[in-house]
Amino acid sequence: MNSENIMVRAEGIVKNFVSGNDTLRILRGVSFDIPAGFSVAITGRSGSGKSTLLNILGGLDRSDGGMAFVGGLEITSLPEKGLSAYRSKRVGFIFQFHYLLKDFTALENVMLPAYIAGIRKKEALDRARALLSDVRLDDRSGHYPSQLSGGERQRVAVARSMVNDPDLILADEPTGNLDPDNSAIVSELLFASAEKWGKTLLVVTHDENLAGRALTRYTLEKGQLVEGHLPSEAAPAEATLTEAPLTEAPLTEATLLTEGA
């Protein structure tokens, strides 16, 4: 595959954790490519290193070896200032907990990362409105997190992850706290929004239905990726923002906003 079409390239990523006299080898030379506009799911047992790999690709953690490139930028060699800029402008995060700011409306939570990054307020608000419309929350944009159900909060987080027009969306168990109905809704809207805006999407999850929506699937096992491959010639799967019944259940609220999320 033409290297110009590769959005994510991992080359021999190694990560160890030292505990007393023991060294835990979490990632043992992980290598893979993700073409621009593709979706990839990584599954594996708890503690297998899925979130660790995601955090390295998101510039939230450092590897102990190997190199990672996103959009041609080698992020593994960036200084902290460079990583901060990378997180803010080139990658969008979605976590298991939505991390919305409780004193801001859904619209304000979505627009804030763009406003903080230097986008004019009107443009940031326009972007936020368009993204909230994509996740079918037009009529909830003025509501605070405490007035939203768990599924609605996570849909706000999906919209927020794309407001800075990042190259890459990283989602860590985005349906992990949701009931099956809400999981299906968030999964549909996440993949459809990524497709609409041409985003490269990498999801780590235990959710089999969510993983099944990705074009390519890997399993992280004993520190290495297995059971996955990228087709030599393929186009991103078609996804649509179709209407579906919304059955939501409230979750407990978190009140942190992760940098660059």
**Given strand 216-221, what is the order of strands in its sheet?**
91-94, 168-172, 200-204, 39-43, 216-221, 224-226
Q: Is the pLDDT of residue 232 over 70?
A: no
Q: Is the pLDDT of residue 191 over 80?
A: yes
The pLDDT score that the predictor gives to residue 4 is 65
Q: Which domains does the chain have, with CATH numbers?
A: 3-226 (3.40.50.300)
3-state SS assignment for residue 106: helix
Q: Is the pLDDT of residue 1 over 70?
A: no
Q: Is the pLDDT of residue 247 over 70?
A: no
The pLDDT score that the predictor gives to residue 161 is 95
Give the list of residues 6+ apart from residue 59 with CB closer than 8 angstroms, or none. Answer: 75, 78, 83, 86, 87, 91
The pLDDT score that the predictor gives to residue 235 is 41
Give residue-wise pLDDT tens across range 102-120. Answer: 999 999 999 999 999 899 9
In whole numbers, what is the pLDDT of the chain averaged over residues? 85
Q: Which own/partner pairs from 123-127 qualify as long-range (CB within 8 Å, at least 24 positions apart)?
A: 124/163, 127/163, 127/165
pTM of structure: 0.83
Strand locations in 72-221, DSSP E? Answer: 73-74, 91-94, 168-172, 200-204, 216-221
Q: Is the pLDDT of residue 255 over 60?
A: no
CA distance 30 to 63: 11
Give the lowest-confidence range in 19-23, 164-168, 180-184. Answer: 19-23
